[in-house]
Amino acid sequence: MPTFVYMTRCDGCGHCVDVCPSDIMHIDKTYRRAYNIEPNMCWECYSCVKACPQNAIDARGYADFAPLGHSVRALREEEKGTISWKILFRDGREKNFVSPIRTTKWGTIPSPADLETPSAEAMQSQELAHEPDALNIDGGLPVWKGAV
Amino acid sequence: MGWFNRRKTVFEDCDVLVVGGGMAGCGATYESKYWGRDLKVVCVEKANIERSGAVAQGLYAINCYMGMQWNENQPEDHVRYARNDLMGLVREDLGYDIARHVDSAVHKFEEWGLPMMRDPETGRYQREGKWQIMIHGESYKPIVAEAARKAADEVYNRIMVTHLLMDEAKSNRVAGAVGFNVRTGDFHVFRAKAVIICAGGASHIYKPRSVGEGMGRTWYAPWSSASAYALPILVGAKMTQMENRIVLARFKDGYGPVGAYFLHLKTYTENAYGEEYESKWYEQTKELVGDYIDHHPTPTCLRNHAFLEELKAGRGPIRMVTKEAFQDPHKETVGWENFLGMTIGQAVVWASQNIDPKHINPELTTSEPYVMGSHATCSGAWASGPEDVAPSDYQWGYNRMMTVEGLFGAGDTIGGSAHKFSSGSYTEGRIAAKAAVKYVNDMNSEKLRVSEKQYEDLKKVIYQPLENYEVGRNEIVAGTVSPSYILPIHGLQRLEKIMDEYVGGISTNYMTNEPLLTRGLELLDMLKEDLDHIGAEDLHQLQRAWELQHRFIASQSVAHHTLFRKETRWPGYYYRGDHPKLDDENWHCLTLSRYDKESDSWDMEKAPVHHIID
């Protein structure tokens, strides 16, 4: 379903332009609002829908196989840590789902540069960062049994 | 003079350059900084690493997790699984290496905030299948990107890398990369001691089933433009198993995933008349592949084969029987959230066509082929293996270094290591990064030489499509038809048509043979000449022009590899009509290619498959 933008809701902030993995959300030069410049290169990934602070972006199923009259709406709330979905069928049936998106506060992942510097010995081993501890196993990193 | 002279050139000198900020690239960026504290680590991405790569949309499962902490699987088990699924042909050293490390990556994802589902009885991660664990992964990519951003000295978003730079002080050594900013049009020159290619595999090299507005609803992301292959191929890196394309059996039109449906929801397939059909094709398949049909689990390609044969016999469509499972409200929720988490378009298709799987068994289809290194297939660059595992045939230096010095890869880029998926690609990025840091440290004070001529020549080539358009556009009144240029979409559609009709796409039921491939290669050669005449109206179209160039180079590689392997190794993925059977006597081997730019020729050879795991 290529995305489209509601004229009265978009304020031209450009969040969708920044995030679109396909580079197809652009700002229209006349209206100063976003629109999908290349619907046939839209993966319907909803990155723009989720990023829009005005909820101005929606999707209409691909014309070549999706009959009109449906909608799949997403509301991604970073502070709450959830995403909510509302699915509306062509015949009016509705389904709602809510899922968690993150269990920690945004921005809290430490930089590896702030961790203790690995030893020269570790550099020569097969272990990667945080190993063997992060493997949660006894006996260290598995060793191939054919090794001599 | 032309467009290229008006462009600003931006230089970046760094130690480790990560090209592509998807899962593999984020892993490589994080790990490069962990081991290379005093090194300058730069990640360059054509979109925005917040939502780039195949995981941009999210995932509902992590498909590669051993569970060693609960003794669920060991790395050797995963090697056996991947080898079996790929009909015997994988790089077992690479697969083992990923499998032994992957759990630590997944544990970090959880620590960083990725919501994992847990089995309420055991408290372990909720298994979807033997290798898959279920997650609420809507923000999988943003979380992983946050860690990479924290690690990198610099992340350059919206820069399309078009070519690699080579060292002029030492032959066959990489020295960086060039590209352009798709917003500003600036020309970017990255001079780097080590380069890790973490770019995407190839969608849209074969004509997709949807060719109208829905052509973007390919199974793999439309932004996976084969840079993973084109960048190394163009500098002479050897590639492996490029014929090993993948075809996916998925829900019709939206290509919604079936993994959770088969494995967790225990739904199953039947033909249009409610019959089980896979067993009907057992004898026929055995004729083609011998004992491989008796392996467990049945290799993915052979299940596809039964699907295709049943359709040809006139008993389609094949449907997924969901009505029973979906009576359970929990399973119904899992079924829908599975799509919303990673293939929203399938939910849209069902909503639009009033398909409620509680009441209707939905149709399945087989996709157009894709070329990639991370899923149930293993096309990609030929890389050196881990020091403590790789046989000597597979080892010539640093882990995950290609046959070009200083050039590393991970994820879709590296061939032979199938079934890595998101977590394994991330892990392979980490593996490559540690090796790249070692490589940079070992270089000591050795200096690279990149002449101005080298990057200025590339600059001219890169912006040429803008000039082609500007000049050619004046010849015509209006519209898209010009006698002097073709647009990127024109070139893409010609490429897809050639690959589809001559190299085993959907319109021939994945069938090809030597005469077809030979003709296909002739047509590709003509397309190559025409690619010098691509016209790009703006910077966005310039990006499309270079994506097309990359897809083209990968496609040539696929066609040459397909011609070279004279057997049908993976029925259900593609067929050689002139060699319809699997031939272990002559082809239980890996295929290698090397493109020589000077002579514009492709050298093919066989490499042994070493079975290091029993």
**CB neighbourhood size of B152 (10 A):** 27
- Residue A72: what pLDDT? 97
Of the three residues B310, B342, B366, the one that is the final residue of a domain is: B366
Of the three residues B311, B336, B366, the one that is the final residue of a domain is: B366
Determine, yes or no, domain membership for B206: yes
**Dist. CA A68–CA A58, nearest whole Å:** 13
Judge: B337–A97 Cβ closer than 8 Å, yes or no. yes
- Residue B525 burial by CB count (10 A; 0-12/13-18/19+): exposed, middle or buried? exposed
Sheet strands (E) in B482-541: 511-512
Return the residue matching tokens 């009505």. B323
- Please, which pLDDT band fits residue A129 given cuts at 50, 70 and 90? very high
Question: In which residue ranges of chain B is pLDDT below 70?
Answer: 1-5
Judge: A90–B352 Cβ closer than 8 Å, yes or no. yes
Q: Does the bond joining A21 to the residue before it have cis omega, within 30 degrees of 0?
A: no
Do B214 and B279 reside in the same domain of the chain?
no
B603 beta partners:
B594
Domain that holds residue B490: 463-584
Q: Does A148 touch chain B (CB under 8 A)?
A: no
Instruction: Give contacts of B341 with chain A, Cβ < 8 Å.
Output: 99
* Ramachandran angles phi, psi of B180, nearest 5°: -135, 155
Torsion of CA B303, B306, B309, B315, to 10 degrees: -110
**Dist. CA B198–CA B195, nearest whole Å:** 9
- Most distant CA atoms of chain A, gap in Å: 70
Do B260 and B381 reside in the same domain of the chain?
no
Mutating which of A16, A35, A40 best tests the B interface, going by the most B Cβ atoms within 10 A? A40
Q: Does B147 touch chain A (CB under 8 A)?
A: yes
Do B279 and B343 reside in the same domain of the chain?
yes
Query: Is the CB of residue B495 less than 8 Å from the CB of residue B359?
Result: no
How many independent structural domains does chain B possess? 3
Judge: B51–A19 Cβ closer than 8 Å, yes or no. yes
Do B19 and B136 reside in the same domain of the chain?
yes
In chain A the domains, ranked by start, together with CATH numbers, are 1-66 (3.30.70.20)
- Residue B2: what pLDDT? 52
Residue B404 one-letter amino acid: V
Judge: A97–B214 Cβ closer than 8 Å, yes or no. no
Q: Does A139 touch chain B (CB under 8 A)?
A: no
Q: Which two tokens stand for residue B315?
A: 């008993």
| CATH code for position B20 | 3.50.50.60
- Please, which pLDDT band fits residue A148 given cuts at 50, 70 and 90? very low
Do B479 and B499 reside in the same domain of the chain?
yes
Determine, yes or no, domain membership for B259: yes
Do B40 and B138 reside in the same domain of the chain?
yes
Do B414 and B349 reside in the same domain of the chain?
no
Instruction: Give contacts of B50 with chain A, Cβ < 8 Å.
Output: 19
**Dist. CA B567–CA B244, nearest whole Å:** 12
- Residue B266 burial by CB count (10 A; 0-12/13-18/19+): exposed, middle or buried? exposed
Query: Is the CB of residue B542 less than 8 Å from the CB of residue B465?
Result: yes
Residue B52 one-letter amino acid: S
Instruction: Give contacts of A130 with chain B, Cβ < 8 Å.
Output: 104, 108
CB nearest A147 (choices: B68, B213, B389): B389
Q: Does the bond joining B362 to the residue before it have cis omega, within 30 degrees of 0?
A: no
| CATH code for position B550 | 1.20.58.100
Determine, yes or no, domain membership for B453: no
Instruction: Give contacts of B349 with chain A, Cβ < 8 Å.
Output: 61, 65-66
Do B163 and B216 reside in the same domain of the chain?
yes
Mutating which of B339, B352, B551 best tests the A interface, going by the most A Cβ atoms within 10 A? B352
Determine, yes or no, domain membership for B209: yes
Q: Give the relative orientation of helices B75-85 and B92-112 as an angle to the nearest 10 degrees.
A: 120
Q: Which two tokens stand for residue A32?
A: 């100063």
Determine, yes or no, domain membership for B270: yes
A residues 55-74 closer than 8 Å to B (CB): 59, 61-72, 74
Q: Does A140 touch chain B (CB under 8 A)?
A: no
Instruction: Give contacts of B253 with chain A, Cβ < 8 Å.
Output: 62, 65-66
Determine, yes or no, domain membership for B285: yes
**Dist. CA B322–CA B550, nearest whole Å:** 40
Q: Does B348 touch chain A (CB under 8 A)?
A: yes
**Dist. CA B387–CA B398, nearest whole Å:** 8
B133 beta partners:
B62, B127
Which among B52, B145, B17, B15 has a CA at the least distance from the CA of B408?
B17
Do B134 and B265 reside in the same domain of the chain?
no
What ipTM was reported for this prediction? 0.98
Query: Is the CB of residue B177 less than 8 Å from the CB of residue B190?
Result: yes
For chain B, how are helix, strand and coil distributed in percent, rounded to 5? 40, 20, 40
What b/e sequence results for B5-38 when a residue is b if at least 16 CB atoms lie within 10 Å of its CB, and e otherwise? Answer: eebeeeebebbbbbbbbbbbbbbbbbbbbbbbee
Query: Is the CB of residue B106 less than 8 Å from the CB of residue B425?
Result: no
Of the three residues B328, B348, B366, the one that is the final residue of a domain is: B366
Residue A111 one-letter amino acid: S
Judge: A90–B351 Cβ closer than 8 Å, yes or no. yes
Q: Does B456 touch chain A (CB under 8 A)?
A: no
**Dist. CA B426–CA B40, nearest whole Å:** 20
Does the pTM surpass 0.90? The reply is yes
Determine, yes or no, domain membership for B61: yes
**Dist. CA B426–CA B429, nearest whole Å:** 5
Query: Is the CB of residue A64 less than 8 Å from the CB of residue B210?
Result: yes
Q: Is A43 a catalytic residue?
A: yes
Which bin fits B268, alpha (ψ -120 to 50), beta or left (φ > 0)?
beta
Do B347 and B471 reside in the same domain of the chain?
no
Judge: B151–A72 Cβ closer than 8 Å, yes or no. no
Do B166 and B40 reside in the same domain of the chain?
yes
Task: Indicate if the pLDDT at residue A1 is higher than 60.
Answer: no
- SS3 category, B307: helix
Question: Using alpha carbons only, what angle is made at residue A33 by residues A28 and A36, rounded to the nearest 5 degrees?
Answer: 65
Instruction: Give contacts of B150 with chain A, Cβ < 8 Å.
Output: 109-113
| CATH code for position B349 | 3.90.700.10
Determine, yes or no, domain membership for B311: yes
* Size (chain B), residues: 614
Do B525 and B382 reside in the same domain of the chain?
no
* Ramachandran angles phi, psi of B249, nearest 5°: -90, 115
Query: Is the CB of residue B136 less than 8 Å from the CB of residue A101?
Result: yes
